[in-house]
């Protein structure tokens, strides 16, 4: 795409944005948009499992790209489950890199990271066009959860399936996006509990028909087989834990909204926790391995013995799911003046994991979890990172973080299933 084309595209987008602004401005005077926030979340969860799967119906405001839409009424953005479309071009510099030629563009991007690339591509633009066409004429969408306890992701975005009514039929956009070949079935943070068979069938149909990312003639990422192998092994790991946890009340998925409440009720007793290793912090005393929950809070695993840390495999598993077993204790943080939860790891066997990176060493994946650069006062005692307060809705996300969250989805820790 040339710079001239870039200018035309930008002009078209400005015109469309202006038109959308006028349309939304005129229609916004008519419907009453009900705010969906933490109070609404608590209310919906109290209705039981089936009702708790329903987030609600909302006016559609904007299609951002293939796997991102905006609706009126939510107090945060969304993460569409089972999807990971390629990125759209947003900057002139990205087009300039692409103009050097597709093969060089892809190679240069891969040379900058050990992770699978996540860069703007023509396929990303095609996915956005598919979404715009799919939602054309749609005024309202219905949002649903995959699991009543999986509400938001690491970046505080709502985890959702999007349903629309078209021509007298109900469509699940998430599944239809995969069927069209705009995205693989994204199982990196767990398989879909409600629509796994539909996603698998949609992906097989798209591959057989060579649609979208499965069309070798189109410009898209070239390593989907390797990515799928890695994601599915992670999905298997999560699924195995959840099946076992159904029969054990002390087995806890850290990303569930009630995880902190359940942990608080088991202080002094053994728990078994599924989480992803995020930041690893060295202090003057122990090493803290943080199991990620939200961007503002994690559960620390405390290692006093460096040899135990090395033999546990926690360092190699950074960014991956692990199962941590141990007695849950409270520690009073004298600097923050509050009790915090932690697990002290004394033997390597308390950590069970698989290193699930792609097989090709050139595609070895770095940590999934962005490093927490918050300041911390070193002490001679283990002081865990902030643990999120038990709240079904959690705090509203800072809208300025949305773009960063979308750029880091391939590196983000589990927010439930996606």
Give the Cα separation of 73 and 115 in Å (integer): 35
* pLDDT > 50? residue 63: yes
Give the Cα separation of 108 and 336 in Å (integer): 45
Each residue's pLDDT tens digit, 328-375: 999 888 887 888 899 999 999 999 987 545 544 343 333 344 333 333
Give the Cα separation of 143 and 159 in Å (integer): 9
- The highest-confidence range among 8-22, 28-42, 50-64, 379-393, by mean pLDDT, is 50-64
* pLDDT-based confidence at residue 295 (cuts at 50, 70, 90): confident
Question: Which pLDDT value is given to residue 370?
Answer: 39
- The highest-confidence range among 1-5, 10-14, 310-314, by mean pLDDT, is 310-314
Beta strand pairing status for 338-345 and 321-333? Answer: antiparallel
Give the Cα separation of 26 and 232 in Å (integer): 46
* pLDDT > 60? residue 256: yes
What are the structural domains of the chain? 31-238 (2.40.50.90), 258-390 (2.40.50.140)
* pLDDT > 70? residue 416: no
* pLDDT-based confidence at residue 43 (cuts at 50, 70, 90): low
Could you give phi then psi for residue 207, rounded to 5 degrees? -65, -45
Burial of 136 (0-12, 13-18, 19+ CB in 10 A): exposed
* pLDDT-based confidence at residue 35 (cuts at 50, 70, 90): low
The arithmetic mean of pLDDT across residues 20-46, rounded, is 47
* pLDDT > 60? residue 173: yes
Closest listed residue to residue 175, CA positions, set 210, 200, 147: 200
Question: Which pLDDT value is given to residue 334?
Answer: 82
Residues 156, 294 contacting (CB under 8 angstroms): yes
Residues 164, 135 contacting (CB under 8 angstroms): yes
* pLDDT-based confidence at residue 50 (cuts at 50, 70, 90): low
End-to-end Cα distance, the chain: 32
Each residue's pLDDT tens digit, 69-125: 999 998 888 999 999 999 999 999 999 999 999 999 999 999 998 889 999 999 999
Q: pLDDT averaged over the chain?
A: 80
* pLDDT > 50? residue 272: yes
Each residue's pLDDT tens digit, 193-243: 999 999 999 999 999 999 999 999 999 999 999 999 999 999 999 999 999
């Amino acid at each position: 795409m040339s710079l001239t084309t870039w200018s035309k595209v930008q002009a078209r987008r400005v015109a469309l944005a202006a038109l959308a602004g006028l349309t939304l401005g005129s229609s916004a005077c008519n419907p009453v948009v009900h705010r969906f926030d933490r109070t609404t979340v608590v209310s919906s969860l109290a209705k039981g499992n089936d009702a708790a799967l329903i987030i609600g119906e909302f006016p559609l405001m904007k299609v951002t790209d293939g796997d991102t839409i905006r609706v009126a009424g939510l107090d945060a953005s969304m993460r569409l489950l089972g999807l990971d479309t390629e990125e759209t071009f947003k900057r002139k510099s990205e087009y300039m890199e692409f103009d050097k030629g597709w093969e060089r563009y892809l190679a240069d991007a891969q040379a900058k990271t050990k992770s699978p690339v996540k860069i703007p591509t023509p396929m990303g633009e095609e996915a956005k066009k598919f979404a715009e066409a799919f939602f054309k004429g749609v005024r309202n969408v219905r949002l649903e959860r995959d699991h009543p306890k999986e509400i938001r992701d690491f970046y505080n975005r709502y985890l959702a399936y999007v349903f629309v009514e078209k021509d007298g039929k109900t469509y699940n956009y998430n599944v239809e996006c995969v069927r069209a070949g705009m995205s693989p079935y994204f199982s990196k943070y767990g398989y879909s509990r409600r629509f796994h068979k539909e996603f698998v069938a949609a992906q097989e149909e798209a591959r057989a028909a060579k649609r979208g990312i499965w069309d070798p003639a189109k410009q898209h990422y070239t390593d989907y087989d390797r990515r799928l192998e890695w994601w599915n092994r992670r999905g298997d790991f999560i699924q195995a834990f959840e099946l076992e946890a159904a029969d054990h009340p002390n087995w806890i998925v850290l990303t569930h909204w009630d995880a902190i409440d359940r942990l608080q009720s088991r202080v002094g007793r053994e728990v078994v926790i599924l989480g992803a290793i995020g930041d690893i912090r060295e202090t003057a005393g122990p090493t803290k391995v943080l199991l990620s929950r939200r961007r503002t809070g994690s559960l620390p695993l405390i290692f006093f013995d460096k040899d135990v840390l090395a033999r546990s495999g926690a360092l190699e598993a950074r960014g991956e799911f692990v199962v941590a077993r141990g007695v849950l204790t409270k520690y009073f943080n004298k600097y923050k003046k509050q009790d915090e939860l932690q697990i002290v790891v004394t033997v390597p066997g308390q950590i069970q994991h698989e290193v699930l990176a792609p097989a090709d060493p050139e595609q070895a994946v770095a940590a999934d979890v962005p490093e927490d650069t918050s300041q911390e006062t070193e002490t001679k005692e283990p002081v865990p990172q902030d643990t999120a307060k038990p709240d079904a809705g959690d705090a509203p996300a800072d809208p300025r973080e949305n773009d960063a969250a979308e750029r880091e989805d391939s590196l983000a820790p589990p927010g439930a299933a996606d």
